[in-house]
Structure 1
């Protein structure tokens, strides 16, 4: 009886099946399932980049405020909203975690609360500083109209059939730096460069023999590596810049696989040749490497070198990257990084960002958006840019006190790091 009791105790502690362990099934084999190796598990177990995750969280806060600004600015009564009715607009802008009143109090440099002169109720509007930055971004995008034309040409030259759906471009309009009405202000305006095949389909107006030859950004990087680092042409011809996050673990044989993949040839984004034969030797790997090159070039064309992962799926047929995009991005952590902060997944081009989460080569639109992000990160703090009058008065009082008592020490101005090291 003691032996049977011990067997039952051991069975209860080890077995998870509905049938308890006993003397009649002790010889039964237990099958252990292999751990799942899917895109979701690799996404959860990937090495995190805290700088890019923090940037994604801050960008999400900025997008919520910009959505609220679009809703408020289109109101017929004026660019202001009563605080009582803000609870109705907040869910439309995506604000669901905080009450509307707490959200306004959290950003006093963005929202200005006042009493309506006629109705005598509490309302809010956006500050002049914030609206001035938004207008500055719109003016900057209008000035860089030729850059938008070049980006559309590059995307059309990368496409399989030479056409693109406007719906796909509309989804990443902010990432590409296009104006809101880019269909009329760019595509129809430059009718010598673009031609509307359908209501939602655009192609190049010039003939195929007269189309310009574009050079991918990675090709420029390869030429720089070839001339400055004196690398051989065999090593540089199909090379991609690799920058793994801190703490990335490389398994056995990882370096050899990476070197073989870097030296493997592929059809480059702007090359128009026959379709890759997947059944040929290395056809699948070459097809995936071409997809990596296309996504790399697409991210290089964006303003901030990042885009939402789900919006890349709309370019699969037009650009010929009919693969599992998220799985492809996770297979190359040294080139791309997926951040899951917030309600969406953002993919970043790792080579474009430094160790502090800032663009290595910023552009003018990025600089304006960075100023908008600064206003978000200020929170409820009194800073140098928004309290100039108070600062002048404090300096005058300090000078007076210093003249009265020169022996007393006056502390210097405390400057808050706005971007927290970018």
Structure 2
């Protein structure tokens, strides 16, 4: 249960005295975003499986798939998960069962951004880095969120040698760093916040329903909005000696710069949301010197952090209206339709989807909680007894 609102407000005003867990619990719940996060959980859980099926033109036998992917899909087992979503996964008899994507799901997953758009997204991402470079492994973690093609290393990086180059990572053997070739000074990106900024240095604020703004809190927010900061595409110099002792004003500026970077990063994503853990990978490279999770929690008018499904997902508030994206494109619309297919589960299909589903005795509880779609060590894909 969330803490009482007055207690939560006091915790937000005295961050140094609370733990990370207390801070998450103290946040003011926004049920619109909580429902949105819950709706995406099945798709998030199934993403590695979907990637494997997309990469193979033929149906995959479940025993072979089990050896390739240590999947953790559902509390009641992976086969139960697959039977829940017959509009996305097609189970084929006879034994051993094989699996493929349905034509409807495959069609939605084939929708992609143009090569020019993906190159520009990658360019902007690298331009936010202090060194104009990022580890390739970190970019791979967010390729879906950024609508990069799954072969972006070949199709985007090698296809734009005037913009990007790959070099060995000196700190990690057998890994690479992606660098921006173009001189940053020749490409001036305007942060997305500039299009919606109410005043100079300010961010658009949309507090959740029922969030009471006390006089003290309003004063604090107003002072923070007027505070100047370094934009996401402006270079910064590391502090001398890496000292951790900074003034209160300097730390507030560091925090505001982190807000600007997070705002721009989320603006680059297809659905204007990302898991906090994935964003945190870029913290050092973006020169963020404050706690990332605290940044999201301390600014509930800009971000919303959901802990649905035992994962922390952050949303950019201003990009949503009543749970829908304000600005959509072909990729975001296709993903929304894919989520809708998964939300339908088996409704309206009865037992007519496939003989494999009928033979397996599939049963569905339509009221099943989204929290069932979390990773568990005891839910590996195991078909040895099937």
Q: Same fold (TM over 0.5)?
A: yes
1:110 and 2:77 aligned: no
Q: Contact 2:141/2:278 (CA < 8 Å) preserved in 1?
A: yes
What TM-score, normalized by structure 2, do the two folds share? 0.76
Match of 2:59 among 68, 79, 98: 79
Deviations 1:344-396 (A, max 9, x none): 211110111112x110111111011111111111111228xx99xxxxxxxxx
Q: Contact 2:108/2:334 (CA < 8 Å) preserved in 1?
A: yes
Greater displacement, 243-252 / 326-335: 243-252
Instruction: Give the number of the structure whose alpha-carbon radius of gyration is greater.
Output: 1
Which residue of 1 is the match for residue 345 of structure 2?
379
Q: Contact 1:243/1:350 (CA < 8 Å) preserved in 2?
A: yes
1:219 and 2:190 aligned: no
| Pairwise CA distance, 1:260 | 0.8
Counterpart secondary structure, 1:174: coil
Q: Contact 1:164/1:201 (CA < 8 Å) preserved in 2?
A: yes
Which residue of 2 is the match for residue 412 of structure 1?
none
Match of 1:151 among 116, 121, 125: 121
Match of 2:324 among 358, 361, 379: 358
Residues 1:90 and 1:54: Cα distance change in structure 2 (over 3 Å): farther
Match of 1:188 among 155, 158, 163: 158
Deviations 1:83-129 (A, max 9, x none): xx49947982221312344333322322334433xxx6655543222
Question: Higher relative contact order at CA 8 Å, sep ≥6: structure 1 or structure 2?
Answer: 2
> How far apart in 1 are the matches of 2:72 and 2:268?
28
What TM-score, normalized by structure 1, do the two folds share? 0.70
Deviations 1:252-275 (A, max 9, x none): 411111111111111112223555
Following superposition of structure 1 onto structure 2, how do residues 20-99 of structure 1 map, counting pairs within 5 Å?
A: 37-72=18-53, 78-81=58-61, 85=63, 88=66, 92-99=70-77
Which residue of 1 is the match for residue 101 of structure 2?
126
Alpha-carbon RMSD: 2.8
> How far apart in 1 are the matches of 2:154 and 2:232?
28
> How far apart in 2 are the matches of 1:57 and 1:154?
30
Counterpart secondary structure, 2:178: strand
> How far apart in 2 are the matches of 1:330 and 1:167?
27
Following superposition of structure 1 onto structure 2, how do residues 17-416 of structure 1 map, counting pairs within 5 Å?
A: 37-72=18-53, 78-81=58-61, 85=63, 88=66, 92-116=70-94, 123-134=98-109, 136-137=110-111, 140-141=112-113, 144-198=114-168, 200-209=176-185, 211-222=186-197, 225=198, 236-272=199-235, 274=237, 279=246, 282-355=249-322, 357-382=323-348
> How far apart in 2 are the matches of 1:315 and 1:272?
15
> How far apart in 2 are the matches of 1:54 and 1:300?
21
> How far apart in 2 are the matches of 1:189 and 1:109?
35
Residues 1:378 and 1:190: Cα distance change in structure 2 (over 3 Å): same
Aligned residues between the structures: 326
Q: Contact 2:167/2:177 (CA < 8 Å) preserved in 1?
A: yes
| Pairwise CA distance, 1:202 | 2.3
Gap runs ≥5 in structure 1: 1-34, 226-235, 388-422
Q: Contact 1:276/1:287 (CA < 8 Å) preserved in 2?
A: no
> How far apart in 2 are the matches of 1:65 and 1:275?
40
Gap runs ≥5 in structure 2: 1-15, 170-175, 354-386
